[in-house]
Amino acid sequence: MKGEEILKVESLSKHFGGVQAILDFGFLLRKGEFLGVIGPNGSGKTTLVNLITGFVKPNSGKVIFQGKDITGKMPYTIAALGIVRTFQMVRLFYNLPAYKNLIIPLSSTRVKKLRGGEYGERDDVAVDLLDDMGFERDSFVPYKLAGSLPHGYLKRLDLARAMALRPDLLILDELFSGMAMSEVASTLPLIEKFHEEGLTIIMIEHRLKELFRVVDRVMVLNFGQKIAEGSPQEVMNTEEVRKAYLGTEVEG
Partner 1 sequence: MAEIEARYRKKRLDRGIKARADTIFAIASRREILYLILPRVLPVILLLSLPFLLPVYWGKVLVYACIYGLLALSWDFLAACGLFSLGQAFFLGIGAYIAGGLSYYFHWSPFITLPIATIGGGVISAALLSPVVRLRGVYFAMVTLMLPMLFMKMIETTGLLGGTHGLSALKPFPAGWTGTYLVIGLFWVCLFLFRRIINEDYGLVLRAIRDDDRAVMSAAINIYWRKIQALFIAGAVGSFAGAFMTHHYQFVGMSAFALDFSILPVAAVTLGGPGTFAGAALGSMILVPLSEALRALGGMRMAIYCVILILSVIALPEGIFHYIERKYHQFEKLVRVG
**Sign of the alpha-carbon torsion through 68, 74, 77, 82:** positive
Residue numbers 65-104 binding partner 1 by CB under 8 A: 74-77, 79-80, 84-85, 87, 91-93, 95-97, 100, 103-104
209 near partner 1, judged by CB under 8 A? no
* Strand, coil or helix: 99: helix
User: Residue 138, class by beta-carbon neighbours within 10 Å (0-12 exposed, 13-18 middle, 19+ buried)?
Assistant: exposed
Q: Which residue in the set 53, 71, 200, 222 belongs to the binding site for partner 1 (CB under 8 A)? A: 53
Residues 137-176, mask of contacts with partner 1 (x by CB under 8 A) = ---x--x-----------------xx-xx-----------
Label the pairing between strands 200-204 and 19-30. unpaired
**CB of 74 or CB of 181, closer to partner 1:** 74
Q: Which residue in the set 108, 177, 225, 238 belongs to the binding site for partner 1 (CB under 8 A)? A: 108
Label the pairing between strands 5-16 and 60-65. antiparallel
**CB of 14 or CB of 110, closer to partner 1:** 110
C-beta atoms surrounding 251 within 10 Å: 4
As a whole number of Å, the CA-based R_g of the chain is 19
**CB of 81 or CB of 235, closer to partner 1:** 81
Contact (CB, 8 A) for 21 and 47: yes
| E runs forming strands in the chain | 5-16, 19-30, 34-38, 60-65, 68-69, 83-85, 169-173, 200-204, 217-222, 225-230
Measured between its terminal Cα atoms, the distance across the chain in Å is 56
**CB of 149 or CB of 228, closer to partner 1:** 149
**CB of 90 or CB of 219, closer to partner 1:** 90
128 near partner 1, judged by CB under 8 A? no
**CB of 48 or CB of 220, closer to partner 1:** 48
CB of 102 to partner 1, least distance (A): 9
Q: Which residues bind partner 1 (CB under 8 A)?
A: 53, 55, 74-77, 79-80, 84-85, 87, 91-93, 95-97, 100, 103-111, 122, 140, 143, 161-162, 164-165
